[in-house]
Amino acid sequence: MKRLFGTIGSTYLAVLAVAFFLPKSAVFLLAAGFVITGCGIVLAVKRFETGKTMLLAGISAALAVVSIFLYRNYIYQPVVDNYSDKEISFKGYICDEINIGSKIIVIPLQTEEINGEKAEVKINLTVYNDFEAEEFDCVEGRLFVSAHESENLISKGCFLSASQDNSFELRTTGEKHFSLYSLAVNVRMKCKSALTKLLNRDSGALCKAILLGDKYGLRKTYKHDFQRTGTSFLIVVSGMHLSVLCGLINILLKRTKISRLPRLIIFLVVVIGFSAVTGFTRSVMRAGIMVILAYCGDVVHRKVDSINSLGIAALILALPNPFVVGDLGVLMSFSTTLGIVLWVPKIIGFLTRVLHICSVKLKPLRWILNFIVNLIAVSVSAALWVMPILTLFIGRIPLLVVPVSIITSLIASLILILSVIMLALYFIPFISVLAKPIALLLNVLCGAHLNINFFVASIPFSSVKTEKLYYFIWLGVTCALVAVGYLIHAKKKYVVASILISAFVLGTGWSVQVLTDTHPTEIYLKQTYRGLTAGVSKDGSLSILCCGGNGRYNDDVIDDLYAYNSVIDNAVIPNRVNYSSYLTMLEEHFDLKNTIVNQKYADEISEDADFELSENSRISFVLNSGTVDEVMNIDGIVYQYLTIESRTLLFVPHYGDIEKLPVKYRTADYIIMDYVSYHAELLSCHTLIYTGQQNKRYDKNAELLGEISDKLILLKNKTYIFKIQEGR
C-alpha cells in the first residue's frame, strides 16, 4: 500500500480530535470504525484496492477511540481525583518559562513529591502579585489545587491549577534544577530580551510570536485581528518557520562539499535546537519529524512520501498522549501541512501553464514568477485547509483569508528571516551594532503586518459568524465528499460535481436560515468569583449592562465579547463593586461609543464617562433594534429594566432594595441578580438567574428565591447565554 502510515496517522489524529472535543460521540465513532473495518474486509476479499484503505482507516478509528478512553480514565482522571480540590504539600521545581502579564504571573510547577510521596504532576500557579523566582528554581510549599478548566492546557500536561484566590505558600529552596531543556529556555529568554531591547513593544511582541511562539505579549486586539482575518496560523510556530530556517541552511550547505550524512547530522541539530528554543512546540516537532525523515531518505537515496511522513509524525505525537489534539496549534499545523502537500503541486502546475512561465526566457523574471506562484499556492492551500479548524474554534468564517494570507505570509517569512539574522548579529561581539539597522526594518515590516490585519479585520463582513446549524451540515457534507474522493481516486468530473454539491448545500442552508431566522437578542452572562459581566447583542450590535469580576477571567470575557463585536455601543457602569476598574479594560480592547456611569462613583473611574447618572434620576435609550434599556439611579443604586421585543428583563445590582423600586418594575420575564436583594419577596418572574456568591445570605434566602420565580438558575464561575425573540 502506497500511503500506509499516511492513512493510519491522519485517521487516528482526526478521530482523536473529534473524540476529545465531543466525548459523547465516542460510541458513534467506535461503531463507525467497526462498520468501516467490516466494509474494508469485504472489499479487500474481493480484491478492491479501496478495501485495504478502508480496513486500515476503520481499525485506526477504533483504536483512537479506545486510546483516548483509556488515557482519560486511567491516566488523566486519577491525577485529577487524587489531587484536585484539595490542599497538598509538595516539593518540585519551576519547570518552564514564567509568563508575566500586566496583572498576573503564571508559574508552571513540576512536582517531585506530593504529601511526602513521589508524584510527578504539573501545576499552573497563577499569582496576582510580585513573586521573586526564576525558571528551574527548586521550590516547596502548600497549594490548594483544582482541576484546570482549559483542555488546551491539559493537552500540554498541566493537569491541575492553583491561584491566589486560594491560600498557598510557595518558597524557593535556593537550589537550581538543571536539564538540557533549562539551557534551551535560557537561550529562549535571551532571545526574548534581545527582541525587547531592539524593537518597539508591538514589533517585539510580533517577532516573539512568529520566531518563538510566545504570543503572551501580543495585544489582545491584534490577536483578534489575526482571528478575524483567519491568519492565526502565521503566528503559530510551525513547519513554515522551520522550513524557512532549514531552507536558509540548505542554501549555505549547497555551496560546500559536505556529504549527505554530515548534512543530516547538521539538520538534526538544527531541528532539535529550534524545537528546544521554541519550547518543544508540537507543531514544530511535527515539522522537525518530517524534515528528518526527508533527509534520512536523501541519505539512503529514497524519496519519502510527504503524506506518509505526516502520518508518522501524527503517530509519534499522539500515541504517548492522545490529549495532544487539545492543542489548537497541532490541529492547525497538521491541517495546513496536509493542504500544502495535496494542493500545492496542482496549483503550481495550473498557474505555470496559465502564465506560460516556462516560455519566459529572462531567467530573473522566471525566478520571480516562480516565487510568486509558489507563494500563492502555499498561501491558498494553507488558508483554505485551516479555515474549517479556525471556524469551528473561533466561530467565524474569515471571507478574506486567501488574499490576506498571500500578502502577510510573505511579510511573516521576511520577519522570521530578519529576526534570525538580527539575533545572530546581536549576540556576536564587536558587530552587534549591525543588528540595529535590521531592527529598524523589522519595525516597519511588523507595523505593516499588524496594520494590514487591522485594516482587513475592520472591513464590514470580513468575517461572518458560523454558529448556525447549516454551516456544520455543509462542513460535514464537504468532508464526506473529500473522503469519498480520496478513497475512489476521484477524477475531474467527481471534483466538479463535489464542488457543485457543496456550494448547493451551503447556499440552500444560508437561504433557509435567512428566510426563517427571527434575529433573536442574545444575553451573555459571565459570572466569576468577584463579579458579573452581562452583555446584550443583536445583529452585530453589542452593549454592556455591567462588567466586573476576578482578573484571572479577563481573557475569557474579552474573547467572548469579541465574538459579538469589536465595538461596544453602550456600556453601563452601575456601581463601584468590581465594575468601575473594568472601564479601562474595555477602552483598551474595544471601540467604546457611549458610557453611562453612576455619578456617585464617577470620580473613582480613570476614564471620562459620556454621561453621569445622578442620584434619583432615570434615562431610557435604545440598545438595538428591539431593545430599550431604562436605567434608574435610586439612592445611589443603579437598576436596569430592559424591554426586549415583547419580553422584559430586570437587572438588580449589588445591595439593591426592591422596596425602593417602583412597583411596575418588580415583575419581569427574566431577573438577573448578583446579590440577594433586600425585600426580594416583592419580586416576581418566570426565570431568575442568580449570579452572586452562594454564601450565608444566599443559604438563608434560597427558598425565597425559588418562590418568586418559576425557574431558578445558579451560575458559578461559568458562562451562560440565552436568546430572547418575539413570541418566545
pLDDT score of 550 more than 70: no
Amino acid at 643: T
> What domains are defined for the chain?
4-81 (no CATH), 84-178 (2.40.50.140), 184-324+399-465 (no CATH), 469-516 (no CATH), 521-724 (3.60.15.10)
**In contact, 534 and 524? CB cutoff 8 Å:** yes
- 117-145 mean pLDDT: 81
Local structure of 673: helix, strand or coil: strand
Q: What is the pLDDT of residue 666?
A: 94
For residue 101, pLDDT over 70 is answered with no
Q: What whole-number distance in Å separates Cα of residue 187 and Cα of residue 42?
A: 56
**CA–CA separation, 221 vs 559, rounded Å?**
10
pLDDT confidence of residue 152: 41
What ranges make up the beta strands (E) of 516-607? 521-528, 531-538, 541-546, 567-568, 570-573, 591-592, 595-598
Segment among 128-142, 403-417, 710-724 with least mean pLDDT: 128-142
| pLDDT over 80 at 721, yes or no | yes
Distance of CA 567 to the CA centre of its chain: 21
CB 646 within 8 A of CB 630: no
Least confident of 43-57, 431-445, 618-632, 663-677: 43-57
Whether pLDDT at 68 is above 70: yes
- Is the per-residue pLDDT at 606 higher than 60? no
**379/619: higher pLDDT:** 619
- Among candidate residues 85, 82, 75, 76, the one with its CA nearest the CA of residue 143: 85
Per-residue pLDDT at 642: 95
* Percent of the chain predicted with pLDDT > 70: 89
Residue 563: φ, ψ to 5°: -65, -25
Residue 52 — very low, low, confident or very high, per pLDDT cuts 50/70/90?
confident
Rounded mean pLDDT of 172-195? 82
Written as one letter, the residue type at 473 is I
Kindly report the pTM of this predicted structure. Answer: 0.74
Reading the block at residue 483, the C-alpha cell is: 473522503
In whole angstroms, give the CA distance from residue 85 to residue 63: 32
Check pLDDT > 70 for residue 483: yes
The DSSP H or E segment spanning 350 is helix 328-355
pLDDT for the residue numbered 153: 45
- 647 or 728: which leads in pLDDT: 647
Choice among 340-349, 479-488, 581-590 with the minimum mean pLDDT: 581-590
Reply yes or no on whether the pLDDT at 699 is more than 60: yes
pLDDT over 60 at 472, yes or no: yes
What is the arithmetic mean of pLDDT over 619-646?
Answer: 91
Confidence band of 150 (pLDDT split at 50, 70, 90): very low
Arithmetic mean of pLDDT, 203-210: 89
Give how far the C-alpha of residue 294 lies from the chain's centroid of Cα atoms, to the nearest Å: 31
Q: Which helix (H) or strand (E) holds 32?
A: helix 26-45
CA-only gyration radius of the chain, Å? 28
* Average pLDDT rounded to a whole number, residues 311-324: 90
Indicate whether 526 pLDDT > 80. Answer: yes
pLDDT of residue 240: 66
Query: Average pLDDT, stretch 400-420?
Result: 86
Count of residues for the chain? 728
Of the given ranges (28-32, 229-233, 391-395), which has the lowest mean pLDDT? 391-395
Cell of 407: 500578502
Q: What is the mean pLDDT of residues 431-459?
A: 90
Statement: residue 420 has pLDDT above 60 = yes
pLDDT at 267 over 50: yes
pLDDT, average across residues 353-379: 84
Which residues, listed in sequence order, are joined to residue 398 by a DSSP beta bridge?
Answer: 463
pLDDT value of residue 167: 58
Cα distances (angstroms) measured from residue 167 to each of 13, 85, 125, 139, 145? 40, 12, 11, 16, 10
Query: How do residues 565-578 score in pLDDT, each as one tens digit?
Result: 778 999 888 876 55
Counting Cβ atoms within 10 Å, is residue 300 exposed (0-12), middle (13-18) or buried (19+)? exposed
Helices (H), 199-259: 201-207, 220-229, 239-254
What pLDDT, in 10s, does the model give residues 640-666? 999 998 899 999 988 889 999 999 999
Average pLDDT, the chain: 82
Average pLDDT in the 597-623 region?
81
Residue 539 has pLDDT above 50, yes or no: yes
- Residue 224, judged by CB atoms within 10 A of its CB (0-12, 13-18, 19+), counts as buried
Q: 308, 3 in Cβ contact below 8 A?
A: yes
* pLDDT tier at 445, thresholds 50, 70, 90: very high
φ, ψ of residue 622 to 5 degrees: the values are -90, 125
Q: How confident is the model at residue 611 (pLDDT cuts 50, 70, 90)?
A: confident
How would residue 449 be classed by pLDDT, with cut points 50, 70 and 90?
very high
Work out the pLDDT band at 70, boundaries 50, 70, 90. Answer: very high
- At which residue does the C-alpha cell 474579552 appear? 558
Reported confidence tier of residue 59, pLDDT bands at 50, 70, 90: very high
- Most confidently predicted of 121-135, 331-345, 580-594, 637-651: 637-651
Residue 728 pLDDT exceeds 50: no
Q: How remote is the C-alpha of 507 from its chain's centroid?
A: 28
Phi, psi of 651 (to 5 degrees): -110, 120
Q: Which amino acid is at 106?
A: V
At residue 151, the pLDDT reads 42
